[in-house]
Structure 1
Amino acid sequence: MKQALTEKEIIRKVESGGVLSPKGYLAGGVHAGLRYNKLDIGVIISEKPASCAAVYTTSHFQAAPLWVTRDSISSEGLIQAVIVNSACANACTGQKGLEDAYKMRALASEAFKVAQHHIAVASTGVIGEFLPMEKIEAGIKALVPGSSEKNAQDFQTAILTTDTVMKSCCYSAEIDGKLVHAGGAAKGSGMIHPNMATMLGFITTDASISTEHLHSALKEVTDVTFNQITVDGDTSTNDMVLVMANGEAGTKELTPDHPDWTIFVDLLKANCEDLAKQIARDGEGATKLIEVTVSGAGSNEDARTIAKQIVGSNLVKTAVFGEDANWGRIIGAVGQADAIVGPGNVDIQLGDILMLKGSTPVEFSEEEAKAYLENETVEIKVNLNGGAGKGMAWGCDLSYDYVKINASYRT
């Protein structure tokens, strides 16, 4: 009897893949002078209008581009192009900022022959500064989207701010008898403590799905990926994750009733989790990725809450940076989480090193623990022994360089 495929066997990572791996997309990036010598305006274009879903920051000060993007999606639920600039967030810029964001949409419409209400707008960078619209206009006109790997890299580079590396990935799966891809690009390094999204993330797929069902899938996936990372506990004004689905793979329309629906959700999740971990790993000044797994909670929500509390603790983050196996920092974070915890039942592991069993200290080798903390990825495992709830979160250590980078962010 043939064994069923595991999730990892169904969902395959595409090496060197990105936003142009799915069929029917173009991308590009240019240097328009918003940044000193780096690409700073990028675009993704679908060859035809695509179903689109997005989630946004819950900041009270949502930036102007988010309002324009929300307006575009609400028109027909379709987006064909996304225009993005770095260096200037166009946030807290009042009526002029909103007018400039709509102007970006109009300029992109003219340049790429796409209806204005089929264009999304995104910006990232310094808050409280107006967009240099002459440079924006010249940059948009200079964009020449293409389908090459370099075109994808140009887009991925153009959206970065303090990031040290590009963030991209792609996964594929067989859905409805067709090979479907989901590719993504993201930026994020500081001001990362998302609620509904993270900095900026753009995902393309050639699956066929309605905007309504795409949004429900994105919301489900975001809650366990992008919403489970933190770098510094600060949420940005511009956070957004946007997904476009143009149907070019030739599948039937996906719905929750489709037999391959869960495969599509897992495909989207694999993409979002990969990007989220790349953002956490590239936290400003970071030297290590911290992955926290919580099990034995009363609910999955409690487990996720505790995991994020641990990974967001400055004391945990600095202990990891200093390679100090101080499990007291971890139990302290668990203790202040807004979740149900049985204080006498907690187990804590650092990798495979058991440090606490039933809330009672266990002898372990400090030398072995320190050696483990020298790894680039540090896994913290907490078992509450109180239920079936599970959850994960990702973050990074807190180094001296984080202060240096943010002390001179505008200079």
Structure 2
Amino acid sequence: MDVIFNEGGVTAPKGFLAAGVHCGIKKHKKDLAVIYSEVLATAAGVFTTNKVKAAPVRITMENLSDGKAQAIVVNSGNANACTGERGLKDARKMAELVAQKLGLNPHDVVVASTGVIGVSMPMDKVRQGIEQCCKSISVYGGADAATAIMTTDTFKKEMAVKLEIGGKTVTIGGMTKGSGMIHPNMATMLCFITTDANIEAKALKKALKDATAKSFNMISVDGDTSTNDMAVVLANGLAENQLITCGTEDYELFYKGFETVCIELAKMMARDGEGATKFIEVQVKNAPDEISAVKAARAVTRSNLVKTAIFGEDANWGRIICAVGYSGIDFNPDLVDIYISSRAGEMILAENGMGLNFSEDKAKAILSEKDIKVIVDLKQGDGCATAWGCDLSYDYVKINGSYRT
């Protein structure tokens, strides 16, 4: 089965419309978006593990409790987090305003926010933005919606794929934002995925959970987890394929496409890390088991010492094996091989836990590329995992030192 990359994002699947506008939450850039399904959709979500959950996260968790949704409203520039009862009231009002304009039940509206914590929502501006969006939603509005949810992102993040299931063409589209405060278990992100697949709620929830584990929970920029993270998927069934259920061949076909979308969106976020100059892929192979491989890969991508070494184009492999060492897995350090690679070539830095007499010039040439791969071979089993991240540069401090201004 081929997964074919398709143009567009959340409006690529049948029956989805979107819009993104500037309503004044931010000074100049687009800051509010609405995504709408022409019919009630099966829905699922995963949310931040932070104990402090923003008002929109709490409202959306309530609204998705029945596994149904028909619209999403999301703003950037204000997180509506740590805003007390007023914040909850404002989040509910956002759902109500969208419902009124589109003729929906407020319970069927997902609410999301991202931006500065601890500031009340400017609801007069939000009201105007929702009115604008609901008037202008169209099949051409996906790119504007993807732009409107950006905060410190430097580019919009959207994509879509199509595949054939049971003789019907199924499309999956998505958009996400995320650049800083990125860390596994949910990364700091907002992600919205749409599909015209006809799929049962149980299967959709499983697909989101499993794909999140392989994608959004395998990226790290700076080790912080926010108050507003969520990934939500809506499936409206307009592809008219036979109902997809767990444990079937059709489910495996759907999941392959769904996971592809999630992984590609996750990699876009890692590539766009705040102040990043390099994209890092860490592959751990031959670990004792998959869980160990995941822990080791995550440890390397979140190590500030590894990140800064790669920023400085320094082949300091000791920082890599050190990160694996504190990852909490059981392994034999005397068996570990470490490689680096990029478009400039590949080379081994350490073998059987000891450094080799490698060419520093060649290593620097490899690390001078924008896309860097680190390979850690534990040689103790068949577990493998891949994680993604970025380097840590001077600009990260500059960006976050003046985030509110």
Instruction: State TM-score, norm by structure 1.
Output: 0.95
Task: Give runs of ≥4 in structure 1 deviating > 4 Å.
Answer: none
Separation (CA, whole Å) in 1 of partners of 2:258 and 2:380: 31
CA RMSD of aligned residues (A): 1.1
Equivalent residues of 1:57, 1:194 under 8 A apart: no
Q: Which runs of 5+ in 1 are unaligned?
A: none
Q: 1:88 deviation in Å?
A: 0.4
Asked if residue 103 in structure 1 is aligned to residue 103 in structure 2, the reply is: no
Asked if residue 219 in structure 1 is aligned to residue 209 in structure 2, the reply is: yes
SS in structure 2 opposite 1:90? coil
Correspondence for 1:182 among 158, 166, 172: 172
Once the two structures are superposed, residues 261-294 of structure 1 have per-residue CA deviations (whole angstroms, 9 ceiling, x without a partner) of 1111111110000000000000000011100000
Q: 1:70 deviation in Å?
A: 1.1
The residue identity in structure 1 corresponding to 2:237 is G
Correspondence for 2:32 among 27, 30, 41: 41
Alignment of 1:249-288 (within 5 A): 249-288=239-278
Once the two structures are superposed, residues 194-216 of structure 1 have per-residue CA deviations (whole angstroms, 9 ceiling, x without a partner) of 31454100000111112221111
Percent of pairs identical after alignment?
Answer: 50
Separation (CA, whole Å) in 1 of partners of 2:318 and 2:186: 31
The residue identity in structure 2 corresponding to 1:29 is G
Asked if residue 55 in structure 1 is aligned to residue 46 in structure 2, the reply is: yes
Equivalent residues of 2:80, 2:114 under 8 A apart: yes
Q: 1:148 deviation in Å?
A: 4.0
2:321 aligned partner: 331
Q: Which runs of 5+ in 2 are unaligned?
A: none
Separation (CA, whole Å) in 2 of partners of 1:197 and 1:315: 20
Separation (CA, whole Å) in 2 of partners of 1:230 and 1:243: 22
Equivalent residues of 2:187, 2:225 under 8 A apart: no
1:368 aligned partner: 362
Asked if residue 146 in structure 1 is aligned to residue 140 in structure 2, the reply is: no
Correspondence for 2:5 among 13, 21, 39: 13
Correspondence for 1:345 among 335, 340, 344: 335
Correspondence for 1:169 among 137, 152, 159: 159
The residue identity in structure 1 corresponding to 2:189 is M
Q: 1:17 deviation in Å?
A: 2.2
Q: 1:146 deviation in Å?
A: 3.4
Separation (CA, whole Å) in 1 of partners of 2:374 and 2:132: 47
2:403 aligned partner: 409
The residue identity in structure 2 corresponding to 1:156 is A
Asked if residue 82 in structure 1 is aligned to residue 76 in structure 2, the reply is: no
Equivalent residues of 2:81, 2:87 under 8 A apart: yes
Once the two structures are superposed, residues 295-330 of structure 1 have per-residue CA deviations (whole angstroms, 9 ceiling, x without a partner) of 111111110111010011001000111111111111
Equivalent residues of 2:196, 2:235 under 8 A apart: yes
Separation (CA, whole Å) in 1 of partners of 2:261 and 2:351: 35
Correspondence for 1:65 among 41, 56, 68: 56
SS in structure 2 opposite 1:260? helix
Equivalent residues of 2:283, 2:297 under 8 A apart: yes
Q: 1:224 deviation in Å?
A: 1.1
1:396 aligned partner: 390
Separation (CA, whole Å) in 1 of partners of 2:136 and 2:12: 14
Equivalent residues of 1:189, 1:283 under 8 A apart: yes
Moved more, 260-269 or 227-236: 260-269
The residue identity in structure 2 corresponding to 1:12 is I
Separation (CA, whole Å) in 2 of partners of 1:147 and 1:394: 34
The residue identity in structure 2 corresponding to 1:383 is D
Asked if residue 115 in structure 1 is aligned to residue 105 in structure 2, the reply is: yes
Equivalent residues of 1:198, 1:227 under 8 A apart: no
1:316 aligned partner: 306
The residue identity in structure 2 corresponding to 1:117 is H
Equivalent residues of 1:197, 1:222 under 8 A apart: no
Once the two structures are superposed, residues 49-80 of structure 1 have per-residue CA deviations (whole angstroms, 9 ceiling, x without a partner) of 11001000000001110111111111x31100
Separation (CA, whole Å) in 1 of partners of 2:377 and 2:162: 33
Instruction: State TM-score, norm by structure 2.
Output: 0.97
